[in-house]
Structure formats: C-alpha cells, structure tokens
Amino acid sequence: MTSTAGSSTGSASPDQPVRRTRVRTRRGPADDPAERAARTTDRAVQNLLARQDAAGWWKGDLQTNVTMDAEDLLLREFLGIRDQHTTEAAARFIRAEQRTDGTWGTFHGGPGDLSASVEAYVALRLAGDQPGDTHMSAAAEWIRDQGGIAGSRVFTRIWLALFGWWPWEELPELPPEMIYLPRWFPLNIYDFGCWARQTIVPLTVVSAHRPRRPAPCSLDELHRDPARPVPPRHRLAGGWDGVFQRLDTVLHAYRKVGVRRLRRAAVRDAARWIIERQENDGSWGGIQPPAVYSVIALRLLGYDLNHPVMRAALESLDRFAVWREHASTGGASRGESSSGPVRMVEACQSPVWDTCLATVALADAGLPADHPALVRAADWMLDQEIARPGDWSVRKGAPRPGGWAFEFENDNYPDIDDTAEVVLALRRVDHPEPRRVDAAVQRAVRWCLGMRSKNGAWGAFDADNTSPLPNKLPFCDFGEVIDPPSADVTAHAVEMLCAVGGRADPRVRRAVTWLLSEQEENGAWFGRWGVNYLYGTGSVLPALVSAGLPGDHPAIRRAVNWLESVQNEDGGWGEDLRSYPDPNWIARGVSTASQTGWALLALLAAGERDAKSVEGGIGWLGHTQLDDGSWDEPWFTGTGFPWDFSINYHLYRMVFPVTALGRYLHGTGPVPRHG
C-alpha cells in the first residue's frame, strides 16, 4: 500500500519543480565509505532474501492509481456481482488516496487528474458516499471546474456509457470489422501496441452492442450544465486530427447502413480472437485493462458467468487484488474515521521482472553464485520460458520462440526487456544444469536478434510497431498505443548480447550507433519505461561500456557530467513524472532509492567509483536506509505510459540500490559463467 513515511519531504505544488535545496541528512561515524557501504548492503541483502517466495520468485506490489479500483467496482456492478465486503474495502483505499483539494492524482505528490477523479467519485457513489459529504462535494466542485464528465478521457466516458451516464452516440466509433483489415492496411489491429491491441478488440464488441445497465445513482453533480451534459461540438480541426474526426463521422454513419451479416461475423471473429488469447490463468496478457473489457465483451455475447472462460477470467481478476488489514483515517477531506480491510487492485503483476532484477542485485552484492536462493530463482525463471509463438510472430514470423514475459502468465507477449534481463540474471548463477541454462540463453538470444526493428533498435514487444496513425484516432487520447524502439529497451538488449560474446556482432554495433544518436544535447537519454532521463541514462551507460566504449568517450563524459550536475544536495538523485510533459522538471525531484541506484549504476559503469558524486550517492543510501534494510519510496519511478500511466514498483526501492552498492563494492559485475 502507499507508504506515508517521509511523504511530506520535498513536497511541491503541482506546477512548480522541486528546488535543489535538500535537508542534509546526518552522517554517521567517520569510518571508511566502503565499510559503511558494506553494512548497508548486508542489511539490504537480508531484507531482499526474506522477500523471496518459496517457489523462487520475487514480486513487489505494483501500485498505479485509483482508476484500477474504480473500474473493478464498475465491472462488478455491470456483471451484477458487486458485494459489500469488496466494495467497502476498495472504497477505503480510494478515500485514503484522495488529496487535500478533493481530487485524485495518478502518482504520489502529483496534480489532480480529471478522469481519475471522475472514476474515483463514481466508485464512492457505488459504495454509498453521498454528494453532500464533504469529501464528495469538494471532488465534484473540482471536477466541474475542470470541464465535468465531458472533459474526461474517452475510456472514462466508455465506462460511464455502460450505465447511461454518457451517450454512446457521443463516443468514437469502434467497428469490429477492423479485425478484418489486412496487416498491410493502415490501422489494422497489429498497428497497435500489444496492450492497446488486446484492449481495442474487445472494445469493438462493446461498441457494437452499446449496452446500458440501469444506473444505480445520478451523476448530475458532475456536469457543468446537467440540462446540457454534452457540450456543443467544436469545428473540425485541420491536419490529421480533422481527417480522423471526419473518419469517425463516416463510421457513425456506417453503423446505420452497414451489412448486418458482416457485422455479426466480425463480432464472432473478434470473440474468437479474444478467447484464443486468454492465458492459462484466465487473464489476458497478465494485465488488468484488457481483461475487464474482454469479460464485458464476452458477457454481451451471452457467455454465462459460470462458463469456464468467464469463471477463469473472474478468478484471475481477483488475483490482481492486494488486501491489507489495517485501519485508515479516511480520505484527506473526509472527517469521520473508517477502519477495516483495504483492497488495492494492481494493473499488472511483475514476478519475472522482479525476480531477474533481484537475482542480478544479490549476485552483484556478493552472494555466492551457487547460493540456494539464486539457484531457486534460476529454476523458476527457466520454467517460465515461453516456447510457443505469440502475436509477435504475426509480423516477425521467422524467429523461433524463446524468451520471457513480465507476468506469471503471458505466453502471447514475451518482451525484449524481460528476456534481456533474465539472460543477464541466469549468467550470474552457478546452476547445477549448465547445459539447460545455455540452451535457454541461446534461444533467447536468437529470438531477441530476430525481433530487431529496421533501424537496428528494439521496442518492448513488437518489431517496427511505429505507425503514427493509431495515435491520431479519436479514442486514443490516453497513453501510448504503439511500441517504437526505445533507448532503455535497446540498451538492455545490447548489454545482454555483449554478455554472451556478441560485442563485435554487426547487429550490436548498429544498435550502439543508434543509442549514440539518441543521446540528448544535455548528455542524457530518454526513459520510456522508467522515470525518466535518470532511468534512460542509467540503462544506456552500462550498455555502452559493455559494448566496449571507453570511459573517456565523449558520449559517456557528457552523460557523466549531466548526472553530476543534477545530483541533489543530499547526495541522491530524483526525477518527478512531470519531466515527461515539462522539461523544467527533468532530473528534478525528491531523492529516491531507485533513481539514486540508476544514477550510480551509470557512474560506476563509466569508471567513476572514486568520484565525489558516487560517494555522495552511496552515502545517501546508507543514511536513508530503514532499520529493516529497506528504503521508503512512496514516489512513482516506473512508467506504463509516459505521464499518462505511472507505476510504483515496490521492489525497485530494493533491487536497484542493492545492485549499485554491490557494484561499488565488487566492481561492475562478475565474469559471466555461461556461454
């Protein structure tokens, strides 16, 4: 759950970057920095070992925002299965996340978000909170000031349309016939990133049916003008926006005159596509959003809740819930107290990612390579290898399967990032079956090389998923819907390929050239999957050094100079999510353990072990470590979609500091054991 300790440190107003004036932490006895680092590392290693599951994996909570909890309640209301116990526990969490101004944000310390606030408000109405309650009236007033329901994103209004709170006619049209578009045709479903693809296909079924369940309450108080909840349409825009507005008008007209037989066939084939991609645990891709829309779509097609597909799906959704038994004083604007179990819904679960990162961290921290914890982790990772083709093979049919996904179950969508880090982790373990490890590594390397994009770099899930058109569609007003190559994923792939002896491979050299071309003028790299330039730079520098670039290479020196220039006065590093839309926030924020770890990994790779900046960062980790060996980190440093969807990986605060401390003490990594 959200940590509150230290949450007021370095707080800032939503429109002002955190200033670089930090309260200096107290230093301990004047002993050797390496000795202090060793003590810090030992405590953290013991904490991390204690977190391992008996089966060999690690998984920290994956915290996002209250839209996950609100949409879970709305789904249960739509299906008629919402129960009081679940509703009350979810409502406690939602109230506790409300900000003092009555709003809900999408990350710790961030500004209020209109769509998140609308969905949270609706969920609390389902839980019985009344418009006249202090916390509810404050939220409603802010929502109206921001444009009301009409100003919220399309996905929020889709949820409201399910209950008649918004007219379907005022939403972008999603025809199921798009499933028939060939792969070469613009806007076919494989032009979208895998996460968007899995969401859009079931939404086409929902859009075709336009269901409307009886609304359990009114939401008039969320409209600026309840008599005219839908504001007049603006004039058509120019450029591509205008083109797609006109296309949407055509699709609305097609709905009325289209061939009924074709639509029925498209709906059936969309349902088949959905069911074929259900994972063994009942989920879709191991992530929550496609699952909820798939359940709604299949229910509309007549699937009974006791049907095996639906029963498995609902059971998988229950596994996204994190329950905590503790009392809460209620939301920031709510006067009365409320106690009882609290329920937070994860958007996804990250066991493979957490396990490979924890394995690398513990090995680099000095744990023996044949330590039972590392061997158990390797065994579990080997069992998670994906051995069958997935959706990636629609466009990249040549590479044979091999690799790993992020979640417990996601055989359709292994990804380059996890695969690269799992290989790096396996090579740090002295496994009793080295041939088994070598075979898995060889398959992973072959698959990764086959998944390069045309520019020589890597995206996360697909190759050459770069069409600009999906982002222009009217319903794509939230988050990334394509998966172009990114510096962080490419860097991890390069580091992995160099670790298996591929430094001189022309494909690796081309990727290095691409990474160098992506360096910003200030010396940093953009972070697609972590916040932000600290993550990108922390990923790229170790890869470039692994690829043979010397520490005095101009690109590395520029990056080092940038990292040192943005170090906080307390010795740590921090970067707020607002750095995505606002350059004034780049590398500005409260120091965090994970981001300090990223900066240190970059500096250590560049040969800066004895630099004052490194000493300051290592010292910050020691001074801020908690008694149990962990670090407090309520700030969000993970990224689902830059700015739009932020993540607090609760294990990041452990794995990256431990890795950095280990490399400070023992060097930048052990000699690989396999290959």
Comparing 13 with 44, the larger pLDDT belongs to: 44
CB atoms within 10 A of CB 285: 29
Residue positions counted in the chain? 675
pLDDT tens digits for range 392-451: 888 877 678 899 999 999 999 999 999 999 999 999 999 999 999 999 999 999 999 999
Comparing 251 with 213, the larger pLDDT belongs to: 213
Nearest to 179 by CA among 282, 251, 300, 263: 263
pLDDT tens digits for range 610-668: 999 999 999 999 999 999 999 999 999 999 999 999 999 999 999 999 999 999 999 87
User: What is the arithmetic mean of pLDDT over 209-233?
Assistant: 91
Judge whether 107 and 97 are in contact, CB under 8 Å. no
pLDDT tens digits for range 170-208: 999 999 999 999 999 999 999 999 999 999 999 999 999
Question: What is the β-pairing status of strands 638-641 and 645-649?
Answer: antiparallel
- What 3-state DSSP class applies to 282? coil
What is the predicted pLDDT for the residue at 478? 77
Among candidate residues 69, 191, 417, 462, the one labeled active-site is: 417
| Nearest-5° Cα angle at 296, 406 to 467 | 55
What is the predicted pLDDT for the residue at 533? 98
Nearest to 48 by CA among 306, 476, 377: 377
DSSP 607: T
User: What is the arithmetic mean of pLDDT over 1-26?
Assistant: 38
Separation of alpha carbons 530 and 469, rounded Å: 25
Judge whether 356 and 424 are in contact, CB under 8 Å. yes
Q: How confident is the model at residue 18 (pLDDT cuts 50, 70, 90)?
A: very low
pLDDT at 80 over 80: yes
What is the predicted pLDDT for the residue at 237? 65
What is the predicted pLDDT for the residue at 675? 37
pLDDT at 115 over 50: yes
> What are the φ/ψ torsions at residue 323 (nearest 5 degrees)?
-100, 140
Q: How confident is the model at residue 261 (pLDDT cuts 50, 70, 90)?
A: very high
pLDDT at 234 over 90: no
pLDDT tens digits for range 545-567: 999 999 999 999 999 999 999 99
Is 570 designated active site?
A: no
The dihedral built from the CA positions of residue 189, 191, 194 and 199, taken in this order, carries a sign that is: negative
Separation of alpha carbons 287 and 317, rounded Å: 9
pLDDT tens digits for range 275-328: 999 999 999 999 988 999 999 999 999 999 999 999 999 999 999 999 998 644
What is the predicted pLDDT for the residue at 236? 62
Comparing 388 with 362, the larger pLDDT belongs to: 362
pLDDT at 588 over 50: yes
> How remote is the C-alpha of 433 from its chain's centroid?
34
DSSP 417-456: HHHHHHHHHHTTS--S-HHHHHHHHHHHHHHHHHT--TTS
DSSP 19: P
What is the predicted pLDDT for the residue at 30? 54
User: Token pair 């790993």 is at which residue?
Assistant: 404
pLDDT at 19 over 90: no
Report which secondary-structure segment, H or E, holds 672.
none
Judge whether 182 and 395 are in contact, CB under 8 Å. no
DSSP 350-375: -HHHHHHHHHHHHHHTT--TT-HHHH
The dihedral built from the CA positions of residue 38, 39, 42 and 47, taken in this order, carries a sign that is: negative
pLDDT at 382 over 60: yes
> How remote is the C-alpha of 444 from its chain's centroid?
23
pLDDT at 210 over 90: yes
Please name each of the domains of the chain with its CATH number. 46-62+347-464+484-666 (1.50.10.20), 65-219+235-324+336-345 (1.50.10.20)
> What CA dihedral angle connects 400, 401, 403 and 407, to 10 degrees?
160
User: What is the arithmetic mean of pLDDT over 47-68?
Assistant: 97
What average pLDDT does the structure give for the chain?
A: 90
Judge whether 419 and 386 are in contact, CB under 8 Å. no
